[in-house]
Structure 1
């Protein structure tokens, strides 16, 4: 307790967390999810469902292809050994993935950069390595991506100070070096579009005061967006995250004191929460990194759990704003 802290947190404030009512009314819908491929996959943070194939990135640096119940390694960007804290930067960690219009899998690896994978052969093309600076700064935490209709790729570099292993330091310190980067596949060039640290670019607020820390965002089958919550914050209940916001000294002491509460929300195109899925005990789905919504099935990802979760919407009574069944 007397040793110097590795972070220099700044004070900030948060509004009172939203009450869990209306579209946020607690339920047990996430507890209806089933665990699949338990102890066969580790930390499947991001997923893409395409026909009979389900692609995922795992904590051991692999991109896997699950086809008809069989798991095979499709690609790997780093090198062995893997599995330890020290090995993670060279092993790699795929954190975000999307299919482009030509059927190639575009993958953001937290340590190694942006890649293009041929899903038929497993061949890998490096689009932009983390060793190559963007606007004079090397990427430290490449996180997630989106692909526009014109083929432009937009991806996040969550921090230029902390890597994925130290993501809790990044959160607890509240440092603001994260940025949004544009990659042009035609010219093979990058551009820093928005950076909080340099106040570059402009932002428009879509939704604020979420009931937790948001992770990946993916389209929902109803035309909105699913947002996974890494941890929940609830009005009328004690929130360590909110309590520590204005107390930098406390954040120097915190490591893993956030209680488990599984939560995912659906937001419509106007930025309004229209549905939420809960596991109040965190026993089945303690946290959600991403939701892949495909053909009436929700695949739930996690950065650290040894399984994928699958929820059939037709078997769920997930209450929506205007209907009782989803």
Structure 2
């Protein structure tokens, strides 16, 4: 019995030893695993830092440019704050999204919408619509390129309008017949570069149109990247309908946006949106000059007013009493490059309004580029953004 008891006792001690050994091996393996993870993490960080060093130190891999805008203007004189944009009457409120440019004729309004439609509105109702594609699910960030996004629109002749679609090209639209013609295709490069972001359009005569291509790199969904990079990748192009020829008339522009025939009939004025300026281009000599500089916002569409004046809608304001992200970021190209790399464009579109003042403004210029009047909604309660202003007895924005 003693022998058996002794054997049982030895077996119990052996089990304890084995248990301690297994526990030791378990902790040993755990720490070894943690050590490997730590080592892999260090290697990963070193590789990441090396890649980032080459990404942001090599000037050949950076796309952002240093820039400096003039000191933001004061809201005094013709820019003095008022409440003229606070008494508004809404047309089709919450029924349409994104009317960018307008042709107003009596009780009729023609405009393009976010979902790709070009519509004829009369007596506060959509009476006709035209789409350039057969896509059915439209009106989102992802569907813009396939559905199209009509922006600039003008009267071409008695029966037809001409429309610039940001993605698809230039179309001639006949609402009476319910038809359209695709006269300029964005899939065809012009002088070696594709048109990525067609924006506004102007009619020189019934056979010639002139239009802006805001960037040959970024499309409309990446509009913030155009501001952040600050590269002169925009162009102005002219198209002759009878011959089908499209040519570049101005190049190396900073986000060319709205375009309008000047009252002199010999030149056009166009917005360099990201530079808060308007320039004038002589159509005979192709000479370009400054027309209006250091504007109190970023100019969008430009349209004629009474007595040789011009109305400009501002896509965002910049003045001495409010912060401006675009002004402040000019001295920090590395920061802007990082923002481009890490923040998805859909987030910019969704949240960028939180980074700018809630202040809507329209300005009126004389034929020499001097600001003579401004209209405001300082809180953005009634109007948040102004892409275009057109006056027919009353202003349409």
1:34 is paired with a residue whose SS is: coil
SS at match of 1:171: helix
Relative distance call for 1:180 and 1:167 in structure 2 (3 A) is same
Q: Residues of 2 paired with 1:75 and 1:237: CA distance? A: 41
SS state of the match for residue 148, structure 1?
Answer: strand
For 1:197 and 1:63, the matched residues in 2 are separated by: 28
* Residues 1-326 of structure 1 aligned to structure 2 (within 5 Å): 8-78=63-133, 79-149=135-205, 151-196=207-252, 202-251=287-336, 252-253=338-339, 255=348, 256=352, 257-294=355-392, 296-300=393-397
Which of 1 and 2 has higher RCO (CA within 8 Å, sep 6+)?
Answer: 1
Distance 1:204 1:134, change over 3 A: same
Q: Is the 8 A contact 2:156 2:206 kept in 1?
A: no
Q: Distance in 1 between matches of 2:159 and 2:371?
A: 31
C-alpha displacement of 1:63 = 0.3
How far did 1:147 drift? Answer: 0.8
Which ranges of structure 1 fall in alignment gaps of 5 or more residues?
A: 301-326
Moved beyond 4 Å, runs of 4+? 2-7
The CA distance in 1 between the partners of 2:205 and 2:182, in whole Å, is 21
Deviates more, 1:259-268 or 1:247-256: 247-256
**Structure of larger gyration radius:** 2
Q: Which deviations, in whole Å up to 9, do the C-alpha atoms of 1:263-299 show, x marking residues without a partner?
A: 11011111000110011101111110011222x1211
Deviation per residue, 1:35-59 (Å, 9 max, x gap): 2211111000111012321111000
* C-alpha RMSD of matched pairs (Å): 2.2
Alignment gaps of 5+ in structure 2: 1-48, 255-285
SS at match of 1:31: coil
1:128–1:223 CA distance, 2 compared to 1 (3 A): same
* TM, length-normalised to structure 2: 0.71
> More helix by proportion, 1 or 2?
2
